[in-house]
Amino acid sequence: MTTDSSVDAVVAKVKAVYGRWRRDTPVTQMRADWDTLFSATGDAAFEPVTAGGVPCAWVTAPGARTDRVIVYFHGGGFQVGSLASHRELMSRLSADAGVRVLGVDYRLAPEHRHPAPLQDALAVLAWLRAEGYAAPHTALAGDSAGGGLALAALLALQGDDATPAAAFVMSAWTDLAATGESYETRAASDPIHQRPMIQAMARNYLGKEGDPRDPLASPLYASDEQLAHLPPLLLQVGDDETVLSDSEAFAARVNAAGGQAECQAWPGMVHVFQQFPNELPQARDALRQGARFLAAHLGLVPNGDLTA
């Protein structure tokens, strides 16, 4: 367990929410609790919009360009999380990249199981194409389940001439079968996300007949050919979290197949530590690095000026 007092304070906040939940806690209450935990809004303008029939929001930091877009998929195990819970993270990403962000309020389980979130993601991306955003001017980002969804969308778009330019994902959930060795090696250091919990969330998302090794649910199981054709990827993950292997193994498979993926394991950090930028300097640094990565692949330099 980490001895960093700032990280310990973050963990305590998250555990206080999880600790109130029981088997009979309604999912609506869980979602409300999660949104309350991440209540900061950031400085960006927030404009609701319907994109391809999917509720979304434009999140635009002061001075951000509007001719480029980062499409953001929030985390929450496909059961909680929203545009409200991730508003500050999207705001900071927009400011750091100098680009507007389109947050996607995709459908959640148990009301809507796989592949509903993926269908929503693809509908939003098709809407962006119709709105005139070319592939080189579009990038994807997401955390946890949303990170896995971003990667699944890239896999589903293969063969399409509008595959986004790059993706930046944080603590991405790439293996719903939960086979990674980090479930053993990081079990003592991760205060919340243990294998039984992850497997229960996967069952709730996939349903009784769902396959946890379907590449469009678990991108880790994509073929080498599929992985080789992904755009450049940056994966960030906390070194203390049990889903560490989800990022490390996925990046390793992409690179072995001939693709381009960088995996950064941040020492002492927990699951989606980037969602606590006010508490953790590492979160602010990580977001800046991710934003610069996306800006570069969107044809921008760090200060937002066009280079291509």
Task: Report the DSSP beta bridge partners of residue 57.
Answer: 48, 103
Q: What is the pTM of this model?
A: 0.96
As a dihedral over the C-alpha atoms of residue 128, residue 34, residue 143, residue 51, rounded to 10 degrees, the angle is -10
Tell whether 102 is covered by a domain: yes
Cα separation of 111 and 19, whole Å? 24
Span 174-203, pLDDT tens digits: 999 999 999 999 999 998 899 999 999 999
Catalytic residue among 85, 86, 241, 248: 241
Contact 209, 247 (CB under 8 A): no
Tell whether 128 is covered by a domain: yes
Tell whether 304 is covered by a domain: no
Count Cβ atoms within 10 A of the Cβ of residue 99 and give its class: 0-12 exposed, 13-18 middle, 19 or more buried: buried
74-86 burial, b at 16+ Cβ within 10 Å, e below that, comes to bbbbbbbbbbbbb
Span 95-119, pLDDT tens digits: 999 999 999 999 999 999 999 999 9
Six-digit token string for 32: 């409300």
Tell whether 303 is covered by a domain: no
| Tally of residues, the chain | 308
- Domain tally, the chain: 1
pLDDT of residue 215: 98
pLDDT of residue 158: 83
pLDDT of residue 52: 98
Q: Give 137's DSSP letter.
A: G
Assess whether 144 carries a catalytic annotation. yes
Tell whether 276 is covered by a domain: yes
Contact 217, 176 (CB under 8 A): yes
Output the domain CATH number for residue 61: 3.40.50.1820
Half-sphere exposure of 88 (CA within 13 A, CB side): 17
Span 251-285, pLDDT tens digits: 999 999 999 999 999 999 999 999 999 999 999 99
Tell whether 250 is covered by a domain: yes
Tell whether 306 is covered by a domain: no
Tell whether 85 is covered by a domain: yes
Residue 306 confidence (pLDDT) above 60: no
Catalytic residue among 74, 114, 229, 271: 271
Neighbouring C-beta atoms of residue 167, cutoff 10 Å: 29
Position of tokens 């969330």? 201
Q: Which of 17, 55, 52 shows the shortest CA–CA distance to 37?
A: 17
Six-digit token string for 290: 């991710």
Assess whether 114 carries a catalytic annotation. no
pLDDT of residue 39: 86
pLDDT of residue 1: 42
- Grade residue 304 by pLDDT with cuts at 50, 70 and 90: very low
Q: Which is it for the CA torsion 154, 157, 159, 162, positive or negative? A: negative
Assess whether 271 carries a catalytic annotation. yes
Cα separation of 65 and 75, whole Å? 25
Residue 2 confidence (pLDDT) above 80: no
Structural domain including 176 reads 5-297
Cα separation of 125 and 121, whole Å? 6
- From residue 176, how far is each of 26, 38, 116, 210 by CA, in Å? 23, 25, 16, 10
Span 131-174, pLDDT tens digits: 999 999 999 999 999 999 999 999 999 876 779 999 999 999 99
Cα separation of 156 and 122, whole Å? 8
- Grade residue 301 by pLDDT with cuts at 50, 70 and 90: low
Q: Is 300 helix (H, G, I), strand (E, B) or coil?
A: strand
Residue 233 confidence (pLDDT) above 60: yes
- Grade residue 19 by pLDDT with cuts at 50, 70 and 90: confident
Catalytic residue among 91, 144, 218, 247: 144
Six-digit token string for 306: 């066009």
